[in-house]
Structure 1
Amino acid sequence: MTADLAEALAVAAGIGLLIGAERERHKGSGPARSPAGIRTFTVVALLGAASMLLDSVLLLAAVVLSVTALFAAAYVKQAQDDPGLTTETALILTLLLGALAIRAVSLAAALGVSAAIVLAARGRLHHFVSIAMRQKEWNNALILGAAVFVLWPLLPDRTIDPYDVLNPHAIWRFIVLMLLIGALGHIAQRLLGPRLGLALTGLLSGFVSSIATIGAMGARAVQTPAQADAAATGAVLSTVATVLQLALVLCVTHPPTFLVLARPLACGLAAALAYAALTAARSVHSQPGAGLQMDSRVDIKDALLLSLMISAILLLSGALSAWLGNRGLLLASFIGGFADAHSTAASAASFAAHGKISSQAATGPILAGFTANTFSKCVIAFTSGNRRFAMQVFPGLLLVAIAVWLGLALN
């Protein structure tokens, strides 16, 4: 027996022992007990390995059918007690993994351990799916899955417009990124709960929408004046999320452009954190209160609207760039930035990725969009909150924008 064969047989036996031990713990007792335990699983795993050693696919298929027939009969016998099919399915999987160990030992071992983990986490998984996860969150997960695994692969990975700027595959990649960031922010809020308070809720909600977060914080400051300082801290921290999100968008769209803007973004991030620390120090004596729960549903209509907005910005940028050169792209980015800084950043980075402009030339439009978005946030802070809230948030927003431009000057 060679060393490789001995290793494969040991892994096959180990898979049977591991999954069998987990099933043995849930085997039960008496007439209703499961018909398979640790010994049965180990023998079946070795049976699969032996079938593969004989190099007969027909034999392996026959063994699988035989084991399936045996457990089908056992299931019918116990059907009145609704025993489930987990053990039977796990046994067939163990048989196949034992066979796989002869051909791909590492893969078989990884799948065996993964199967044992899933089986052992039965209670937690049932609680998560049945109780912890809300119906709306399950719908969100399905929509996100469709966006990633159904729509994205179907979109053409080429430009389809006269200005050679609209790439549906690249646009949808940006949409998927934004949806994932929003979903992760929502998960973090759910896991940490109301213990976050307004400050950290502002940071996490900023990944969903910084402008919406500032508006919600302004409304909280009006409704509960004792929490105005904490709400201002949360509003400024949402800009931290904007900067981090912008960096991630650039990394995904065109890494060389991100490298050019790494220092400006780092300066903006440092300024946002420093100013948030100052406002947090002032809010130490604020009345405690639960954080806000931002709406972070994954709406396919919102995703389509966002993709249309990005497409419009790209077309406008392409047209103005063709007519006015780099000044046209700068103007289009500034206009688009009032609605969303990330869309304009993705548009300018896409121009650089397609070789239409250099990474250095893309920095101006990106920061112009970021600046316009800062103006939008200032307007929202003023209209949603009171004067005290606005005067606390304004300096932080402007400081971040100035820091970003200074960082560019230092490049």
Structure 2
Amino acid sequence: MNSVGLAIDGDLLRIVLAGALGLFLGLEREWSHKSAGIRTFSLISLLAAVFTVLDQPLLLAIGGLFVAVQGLLLAVQGLLVEESGLSLTTSVSMLVAYGVGVLVGAGRLVEGVTVAVLSSLLLVLKRELHSFAWGMSREELRSTTEFAVLAFVIYPLLPAGDVPIGAAGFEVAVEPRVIWLMVVTVAGIGIVNYAIVNSYGGRGIAITGFFGGLASSTAVVGTMLDHVRQRPSSASYAVAAILLADAAMAVRNLGIALAFTIEAPLFGAIVPLAAVVLGSFLIAGVIADWDEEVEMELESPFSLRNALGFGAIFLLIVVAGAFAEAHLGTAGFYATAALSGLVSSAGAATSAVVLYRTGSLEHDVAVIAILLATVSSLVVKAALAATSPNREFARQVAIWTGVLVAVTGVATAAVLL
């Protein structure tokens, strides 16, 4: 008796929730003065929930067909009546409301609520989404499309688990999906920070240096070199920008070291990389003239060629690192990591993480490799700054880079020795 009552109560709750979610979906349509609003959407979700609870597939199919036909009629009406415009959004939203009712009626409450909230958000943010799309350049649109191909087309096609790669008696296990996921992650960081730098780059050196450094620390150095050449008096905050780019690079490498080793995190990398971050911020805060602003222009946030190039270099680093570890010992792998860091500290860090995940590297070896790549990146930026005709600027970058390298070494020794 009680179990029957509980079942009835459960069915009633699902029906009520379906009606409420339909009403929620219809709010924006009602506010926009569309032909289908709160009552229509709520009734559609109720109808779907009732048919689902009754477990009547035929009625459910008829109901779905009815909603689809009604949506089609609304779309045709929009074409015939010039003032109302095309009503495809309302038509599709009605089908979504019916689907929400089916999900809730079937007991998939989380899925139903999620679909309803996301759909309502898409309806409410119509102007913002349109403005965003219309404001994109052709290059940005192409980059976004290419990123989607990498993340949602290529990634699912890659084999899961370890895949052995080798020849002539040498073999190393790699995880294609993990490697590609790291490529996608680095590319995603570039896209996000491209948008941030373009939006706020002229408002302060902190955003330009730090967020620009997440996207490309080399771009920050190049921008500062050009700015110092044009305005020699701006050397102090140009140095600060490079230091903040160093901090961003360390944050990125720390994120790679921890995010992809959740089961057995590389905790040894936390203190040294955190020391780089804190030291960079502290020095930049002391030496910079924060009243100055600098514009920074980044190139296209992402391209398929760059992604494939990064993936190829990264895979080469992984294989070379494993080969060095197997035939030259730990010192050989360290040398590979240091040299790789001159090109891409992110690539060297991710290669160490991949080898650590597959058991090819021990914890301390992976940590030291990541730190060597980080130090190499610091040295590269100092070397680039040394090409500036402004000797004071080059000297300041070299001095503070040396301080950061020393701090990293001390922190590493304190943690690992």
Distance 2:353 2:39 in 1: 59
Residues 1:274 and 2:282 aligned together: yes
Does the 8 Å CA contact 1:165/1:318 hold for their aligned counterparts? Answer: no
The corresponding residue for 1:173 is 181
Does the 8 Å CA contact 1:210/1:242 hold for their aligned counterparts? Answer: yes
Does the 8 Å CA contact 1:349/1:359 hold for their aligned counterparts? Answer: no
Distance 1:330 1:186 in 2: 32
1:159 aligns to what SS in structure 2? strand
The corresponding residue for 2:331 is 327
Map 1:4-403 → 2, pairs under 5 A: 4-27=10-33, 34-80=34-80, 81=82, 82-103=85-106, 104-131=108-135, 133-156=136-159, 157=161, 158-161=163-166, 162-195=170-203, 197-255=204-262, 256=264, 258-280=266-288, 283-284=289-290, 288-384=292-388, 386-403=390-407
Q: Which deviates further from its counterpart, 238-247 or 165-174?
A: 165-174
Provide, for residues 328-347 of structure 1, a one-character-per-residue CA deviation record: whole Å limited to 9, x for no partner: 11222222222122222222
Q: Which deviates further from its counterpart, 87-96 or 236-245?
A: 87-96
Does the 8 Å CA contact 1:333/1:365 hold for their aligned counterparts? Answer: yes
Distance 1:110 1:365 in 2: 42
Cα shift at 1:134:
2.7
Cα shift at 1:284:
4.6
Distance 1:95 1:53 in 2: 14
Provide, for residues 258-303 of structure 1, a one-character-per-residue CA deviation record: whole Å limited to 9, x for no partner: 20121111222221111111222xx256xx3343122252111111
Cα shift at 1:326:
0.9
The corresponding residue for 1:31 is none
1:184/1:15 Cα in 2 relative to 1: closer, same or farther (>3 Å)? same
Q: Which deviates further from its counterpart, 224-233 or 259-268?
A: 224-233
Cα shift at 1:153:
2.3
Does the 8 Å CA contact 2:143/2:300 hold for their aligned counterparts? Answer: no
Distance 1:385 1:15 in 2: 65
Letter in 2 for 1:51: F
Give the CA RMSD over aligned residues: 2.1
Distance 1:308 1:145 in 2: 19
Does the 8 Å CA contact 2:205/2:241 hold for their aligned counterparts? Answer: yes
Cα shift at 1:304:
1.4
Provide, for residues 203-226 of structure 1, a one-character-per-residue CA deviation record: whole Å limited to 9, x for no partner: 111011212311221111111223
Q: TM-score, normalised by structure 2?
A: 0.89
1:114/1:171 Cα in 2 relative to 1: closer, same or farther (>3 Å)? closer
Letter in 1 for 2:171: Y
User: What percentage of aligned pairs have identical amino acids?
Assistant: 25
Letter in 2 for 1:235: I
Distance 1:89 1:251 in 2: 42
Does the 8 Å CA contact 2:325/2:332 hold for their aligned counterparts? Answer: yes
Residues 1:410 and 2:417 aligned together: no
1:322/1:76 Cα in 2 relative to 1: closer, same or farther (>3 Å)? closer
1:164 aligns to what SS in structure 2? strand
Cα shift at 1:392:
1.9
Cα shift at 1:390:
0.9
Does the 8 Å CA contact 2:349/2:369 hold for their aligned counterparts? Answer: yes
Q: How many residues align?
A: 399
Does the 8 Å CA contact 1:272/1:399 hold for their aligned counterparts? Answer: no
Does the 8 Å CA contact 1:159/1:168 hold for their aligned counterparts? Answer: no
2:386 aligns to what SS in structure 1? helix
Q: Which has the higher contact order (CA 8 A, sep 6+)?
A: 1
Does the 8 Å CA contact 1:53/1:102 hold for their aligned counterparts? Answer: yes
Does the 8 Å CA contact 2:208/2:296 hold for their aligned counterparts? Answer: yes
Distance 1:166 1:16 in 2: 48
* Structure 2 residues without counterparts, runs of 5 or longer: none
Distance 2:381 2:141 in 1: 32
Cα shift at 1:169:
2.6
Does the 8 Å CA contact 1:276/1:396 hold for their aligned counterparts? Answer: no
Does the 8 Å CA contact 2:139/2:300 hold for their aligned counterparts? Answer: no
Cα shift at 1:381:
0.6
* Structure 1 residues without counterparts, runs of 5 or longer: 28-33
Distance 2:265 2:104 in 1: 46
Letter in 2 for 1:140: S
Does the 8 Å CA contact 1:334/1:372 hold for their aligned counterparts? Answer: yes
1:65/1:217 Cα in 2 relative to 1: closer, same or farther (>3 Å)? same
